[in-house]
Amino acid sequence: MRAAMYDRYGSPDVLRIEEVPVPTPGPGQVLIEVAATSVNLSDWEGLVGSPFYARLGGLRSPRRGILGSDIAGRVTQLGEGVTRFRAGDEVYGDNLALLGGFAEYAVAAESALAPKPAALTFAQASTLPQAGAIALQGTVGAAPGRRVLINGGGGGSGSFAIQLAKRLGAHVTGVDNGHKLDFMRALGADDVLDYRREDFTRREPYDLVLDLVASRSVFAYRRALARGGRYRCAGGTVRALLRVLTVGVLAARVTGRRMGVLVVRPGPASFTQLAALCVAGDVVIHVDRTYALDDVAEAMAHVGQGRALGKVVVEMG
């Protein structure tokens, strides 16, 4: 099969398309003929080896030679003990534990997968698992009368989070680079900010902040919270995440606020609810661009360099 391989951390140039053996599913796993895999910031982080958590399991060189976690495709082979799927089933899921999605075939645990809704294309379904889980869990607490801020709102998770928070009746502010402001407005954001020009922590306080790109001090984040408010970060620099987990938790608590790191629960229950909203037309999937497997490096650069509006998908063709 053809796959986008890499054996050292670096820029997209380290990726090369190679012919490699088709993997064999182990117990509880299935082999999938991959139709589409969306690019997440976690793929970019795994490519460049930064932030440091992206090197867990592979300090000097990557643990897995093929990136790509959000896959959609057809089951072609069952490992021992698989009961939920049969050959030919159309599935999608976040294969973060095994990766391998930027290839013609990938092995995934059946527990990571859900049947693909017929109303969604493979490309659309591949956009949902990781970004959808972050957005769904990160917007818990959004409600009418509450002010919600999504930092990194124009990216993959943010584009879903804005829509979900808005649907729950909150007043939503999206923060991202200036190129994504109109996009966030179109998703329903009431207010948008260019992070290169404005500091959201020095504006009005918010009841809920979902931060996809934490990099600031916990005191800045605490300043952004109204009394009783909650800040959660899903990604960012290791330094910022550690500070939130330590100083942040305490500093927020003594002032009647809450701060923490959002650790997303894996598995289909985390994203199938969003898929149902997309099928019903209540949430829109915005695929900015699709690329062929040969152009994975370009697709990664498009996301990693912050140019993507919403999601980017690689189709295996």
Ligand X SMILES: NC(=O)c1ccc[n+]([C@@H]2O[C@H](COP(=O)([O-])OP(=O)(O)OC[C@H]3O[C@@H](n4cnc5c(N)ncnc54)[C@H](OP(=O)(O)O)[C@@H]3O)[C@@H](O)[C@H]2O)c1
**Residues that bind ligand X in the complex, under the rule CB under 6 A:** 40-42, 45, 130-131, 134, 151-152, 154-158, 175-177, 180, 195, 212-213, 215, 234-235, 262-264, 303, 306
Q: Are 62 and 84 in contact (CB under 8 A)?
A: no
Q: For the chain, how big is the Rg over CA atoms in Å?
A: 19
For the CB of residue 119, give the shortest distance to ligand X in the complex, in Å: 24
Q: Which is nearer to ligand X, 77 or 215 (CB)?
A: 215
Q: Which is nearer to ligand X, 222 or 232 (CB)?
A: 232
Beta-bridged to residue 106, according to DSSP, are 32
Q: Are 123 and 275 in contact (CB under 8 A)?
A: no
Beta-bridged to residue 33, according to DSSP, are 74, 105
For the CB of residue 218, give the shortest distance to ligand X in the complex, in Å: 15
d(CA 102, CA 311) in angstroms, rounded, equals 15
Residues 297, 153, 282, 207: is their CA dihedral positive or negative?
A: positive
For the CB of residue 55, give the shortest distance to ligand X in the complex, in Å: 13
Strands 2-5 and 16-19: antiparallel
Q: Which is nearer to ligand X, 82 or 264 (CB)?
A: 264
For the CB of residue 310, give the shortest distance to ligand X in the complex, in Å: 8
Q: Which is nearer to ligand X, 152 or 229 (CB)?
A: 152
For the CB of residue 153, give the shortest distance to ligand X in the complex, in Å: 7
Q: Which is nearer to ligand X, 30 or 133 (CB)?
A: 133
Measured CA distances, 183 to 39, 109, 130, 288 (Å): 19, 35, 21, 11
